Structure 1
Amino acid sequence: MTTGGLHALQAWLAHEADERDLELVCAEHPDPSRGELDRTVVRLSTCARDVAAHELVELLLVGAGRVSVRLDGCSDPAAAAAHLDPVMRMLRAGCIDRVTVETDLPDDAATNARRTVLDADRLPVSRRRLFGVSADVARNLPVPDEDPHARLVSAIRALVPAATPELTELDSPSLRLAARGCVACGVCVQACPPRALRIQHGSGGADIAISTLLQTPATCTGCRSCIDLCPSGVLEAVGPWPWSELLVDREVGVTTLTTASCERCKASFPTTSGERCCPTCTYRRANPFGSTLPPGFTMPGAPSTAR
């Protein structure tokens, strides 16, 4: 368990018999005890601006009926609201109204009795559960070490049964890629941390393949590692994928080209005229004893070619 996250709260909710309506407050909140009595108040170990989007959404899957993030006691409510805005827009686009962000204390909160405030990292365990006599409730918890983007996508898929029109218009973190002039070197595939890219080689005839660079939008995190490390400099982002594309598992073609397998090094290389060797091996065959000299340069003692 990592201090500052919501894993301990998720584990606690997963074993509660009934769903809880949660009210999350920042660690620096001076007095969150006043408010609606039917909510379970949980003080975070950090500010709301540091809450991970995937952990917030996952609360709805492990036992939270509703989640309210209260910013009236936050030291920087504008930053916290800006941090939470992308996930809130995404939830609204998916017609999920069980998470809210509250910037003001309710008008009647001062008249309510004081409530117990729980600590997100040290939550109470009932005696019945401690002694094993409570009902055995255990909802499935997300895998803590899984990629945060994958966890967020998985949670949204569980909450949104089908894409809504709003999700087709809402930008996701995933990048739509294009690669005019791709040489199918495969560096982008190796550079992608979440493995959102792969090259598929299909038969195109004798010693020729139709190679396609494929992307899985749901897996892409938008880190741009593939773009930054493309040795040819041809891979680019042409815009984000909409959130609706992340709700399904599918591959899309980034580019397609004709390739051949080099008869010397066996590497794939683009070809349009039936070459048998890749450019590197072709150059090495033409210059078996080293590199050619730069234009205009002559070795000392070599005869001059000037006229």
Structure 2
Amino acid sequence: MNTNMPYQNPVVEQRADPWVYKHEDGYYYMTASVPEYDRIELRRSKTINGLSDGETKVVWRKYATGPLSANIWAPEIHFIDQKWYINFAAARTTDTKEGLFDHRMFVLENESANPLEGEWIEKGQIKTKWESFALDATYFEHKGISYLVWPQKDPDIVGNSNLYIAELENPWTIKGEQVMIATPEYDWEKIGFLVNEGPAVIKRNGKIFISFSASATNHHYCMGILSADESSPLLDASSWHKQAEPIMTTNEQTGQYGPGHNSFTVSEDGKQDVLIYHARNYKEITGDPLYDPNRHTRAQVITWDQEGFPVFGEPVPDDKE
């Protein structure tokens, strides 16, 4: 084990798009895309390393037909108003149309204290401005207002997905207009596909940060960051600023390829911010990278610079025996 790092990587093998949330009960709750894209799995542990073999349960499975029958992607678990919610994306078909899948965003609800118990109720589709490719919905609260941030295809904009924000009436219903806050504009966001996706929110140092992933899901996949002042109007696109350079990319020296689709949590003692993300440990992929199963969940502590911005650093090497 790398003695300079508190976490052994990979934390969980073959789990992409990882979402880890530390709850007030002291447990870390994790969900992620499974290689078969056919179900939603929850696991929990009192430690991040313990998620590798922690208590695990399948809480929902895809349907045989219809809009919830294919490519179950990127679930996230949130605790909102004393209930648990899972956001996820699902498609009707595995066929592509002009390079896009037909994903939409959906929500599950559970009233149990422990989300690995009780019943998960389908609350339906999150309806947006268009019936178009949409996925990776994430939730955050600020100054008593609930927000949704998600990637979607605007039929009138060239590219695959832009990032949008809207206020929420409840965890599955948008209130008011959606506002585009990011679109692929730099070269590193346009390799293979024009993509801004996988948003995750962290609030620190008087700012709200949204990390996101860009480009194709092979070794070109990487992460960027948006920021807004915490006092700015978050539904005003001009409040959001994108860093011109990616914040984490493939590192040949550490053997990590295509780092992306992250979430944020905190260390066991609550004193450090921890980046949870996926990456492969090889570059060459046979076939469509989406169907290569070896995007593994990883964890590393992040730091903050003098301007109050996050420093992700290089993706750390594997150190698990």
What TM-score range do you get, normalising by the shorter chain?
A: under 0.3
Instruction: Specify the structure having the higher radius of gyration (Cα).
Output: 1
Answer 1 or 2: which has greater strand percent. Answer: 2
